[in-house]
Copies of this chain bind each other. A is one copy, B any other.
Amino acid sequence: MIRDIKSISIIGSGNVAFHLGKAFSGLVKINAVYSRNKISGHQLANELFVFHAENLEDLIPSDVFLVCVSDDEITNVIEQLNPDQAIIYTSGSVGLSELPKRVNLGVLYPLQTFSKSRSIDLFEVPFFIEGTNEPFAQAIFDLAWKLSRKVIFANSNDRKNLHLAAVMVNNFTNHIDYLAQQFLKSKSLEWDFLKPLISETAKKIQIELPFDAQTGPAVRGDSKIIEKQMAMLDPETKEIYALLSESIAKHHKK
């Protein structure tokens, strides 16, 4: 039974592996990194000053293996590991019961977007924890607690719901920003003009509910402006504009 995670090896070398590896470095013993992508695996091992395993079998045994690979690959990786090896994965959308049965299998899901070019303060990032048994879940909780003060036990279902909400506020917001950027580009206007607004929009939402923060033509029911703006857009963006404006108007109707 694992009660205290003192050493980890990392499988994967993507954004999550990179950020968690750097964050855990110095707080817990990192033994090795293995990645299917040899180049970025080697880079991460170098960054962490740890052994780079060329093959999964070469991984140095550790209290846990932290599996930071894409959702589709988790099962495949688990099946290649010693069945007694304790494993933590980091996916929001893969349920514990969807994976091969293991005595010590658990989840540490950081609700954040990671990219190698940006350092992130993990202290406020929520980490959602689940495990096949209570002591192991507690051990993962304690491990996450080294990085964050927002550590929460959550079952696979909650985690999936959180991941879906994350897709909405990150991916969809990003895409709307992209469409706005493309629109401005088509009019030879600088995308940079929108940045203070994007920044303030996100800041406002930290203290106000999105419903209360809402402004603009759709919430005012200003159909004249809505029609004019729709006429300015390409068919695809127009459809998105129409659907979102309709939804705003519907929810804000008194």
Contact surface of A with B, Cβ cutoff 8 Å: 15, 70-72, 93, 111-113, 115, 117-118, 120, 124-126, 150, 152, 158, 160-181, 183-184, 187, 189, 191, 193-211, 213-220, 222, 225, 228-229, 232-233, 236, 239-241, 243-244, 247-248, 250-251
The residue from B117, B180, B215, B228 contacting A168, defined by CB atoms under 8 A apart? B180
Residue numbers in B under 8 Å from A236 (CB-CB): 247, 250
> Is the pair B216, A167 in contact by a Cβ cutoff of 8 Å?
yes
> Is the pair A178, B211 in contact by a Cβ cutoff of 8 Å?
yes
Q: A112-B196, A158-B187, A175-B214 are in contact. List 7 more A-B contacts (CB 8 A).
A: A93-B229, A113-B201, A161-B183, A171-B217, A172-B176, A174-B214, A191-B209
> Given A126-B196, A166-B197, A240-B244, are A160 and B232 also a contact pair (CB < 8 Å)?
yes
Residue numbers in B under 8 Å from A241 (CB-CB): 168, 172
> Is the pair A193, B240 in contact by a Cβ cutoff of 8 Å?
no
> Is the pair B248, A171 in contact by a Cβ cutoff of 8 Å?
yes
> Given A202-B198, A204-B118, A229-B164, are A158 and B189 also a contact pair (CB < 8 Å)?
yes
Residue numbers in B under 8 Å from A233 (CB-CB): 164
> Is the pair B179, A176 in contact by a Cβ cutoff of 8 Å?
no
> Is the pair A210, B181 in contact by a Cβ cutoff of 8 Å?
yes
The residue from B163, B169, B195, B250 contacting A176, defined by CB atoms under 8 A apart? B169
Q: Which 7 A/B pairs are nearest by Cβ-Cβ distance?
A: A202-B202, A178-B210, A171-B216, A177-B210, A165-B180, A168-B180, A161-B187
The residue from B113, B115, B214 contacting A197, defined by CB atoms under 8 A apart? B113
Q: Which residue of B lies closest to A230 (CB)?
A: B164
> Is the pair B164, A183 in contact by a Cβ cutoff of 8 Å?
yes
> Given A171-B248, A179-B168, A240-B244, are A113 and B204 also a contact pair (CB < 8 Å)?
yes
Q: Which residue of B lies closest to A192 (CB)?
A: B126
> Is the pair B172, A197 in contact by a Cβ cutoff of 8 Å?
no
